[in-house]
Amino acid sequence: MAVTVTALGQLEAMGFDDVIDVRSPSEFAEDHVPGAISLPVLDDEERARVGTIYTQVSPFTARKLGAALVARNAARHLEGVLADRGGGWRPLVYCWRGGQRSGSFASILAQIGWRVEVLAGGYKAWRALVVQAVYDQPVAAPVVVLDGNTGSAKTEVLALLAARGVQVLDLEGMANHRGSLFGAMGAQPSQKTFEARLAYGLAALDPGRPVVVEAESSKVGECRVPPQLWKAMVGAPRVAIRAPLAARAEYLARAYRDVTEDRARLSAVLEQLRGVHGAEVIEGWLGLAAEGAFEALAGDLMARHYDPRYEKHRARMGGAGVEVEAGGLSEADLAGLAERVAAAVVRVSPAGAG
């Protein structure tokens, strides 16, 4: 039986025991339905072989080879990952378009006696819902941008706001990147996976309450912010954290310990700034890094590099805003700062507290 999904939240509500992606490993790696497990019925090389035979020999020969490969791979999954599934197991299976690959695997599972269903339209249909959510529809809730110069603890404050019940969209969490030259946190998701995470975040919003988004450029690392959200961010009212340079430098030295503990990585990132700053400035920064003077390094980077650029970026934003003073940014200070930011969000948003 084919299941038609018209909204992103439907699959979770249907309560399938497993969602199975039978596409090739490379297709799964690029993007997949959240929570799906990869059980390919054709790997990348097998899929290429079948496709070549389909176009160069005949569709019949390709289907015959494909059936043999699917049966062989299905047996491996049944004897491996699925060996412990009981008689009441209820899976959903999908492939690229809900066609032969998912249908073949689902038929085998159904013959065993499992209550298997196939996603109508496959990944392509689900992806269309993601595209609709992030490219075609305006953001349902009124957006408020959490602003502030580099080192203002915006990311931690955003998490504290979420813990207090404020609606947030954590773009840096979705992109697995802190948004700056030093912000890499490991491999980033593909653009499609980033958009899927964002689509689910947007779908969960209460349109009657504001949603807070951290100020970002149009890219978070290599992930591009879709135009509808970017347009909303540019015109949104802003709550800016104002913190002294010394407090921001201390915060950055603490928050970016993963960078400062890797001297080779830190030096490599500083070297990337040679096209922007003179050799004397770069050598000074490298010297501070070598000495372990990370607060001094952070302070000089902000004064010479980040703060001037942030002011230019802020000047292009259209929304009015308010400032929230932060005397310090220690862990003890952040809870109170988050409370003041939450109150400011209510003041600047047309939706108020909701």
- Cα gap 354→104, rounded to integer Å: 49
CA-based torsion, 67, 69, 72, 76: positive or negative? negative
- Cα gap 196→198, rounded to integer Å: 5
- Cα gap 152→246, rounded to integer Å: 11
- Cα gap 93→18, rounded to integer Å: 8
Q: Are 92 and 117 in contact (CB under 8 A)?
A: yes
- CB burial class (10 A; 0-12, 13-18, 19+) of residue 253? buried
Q: Annotated catalytic, 95? A: yes
Token pair for residue 44? 């990348």
> 98, 128, 138, 140: which is closest to 192 by C-alpha?
128
Candidate list 39, 95, 108, 269, residue with the active-site label: 95
Active site residues: 95
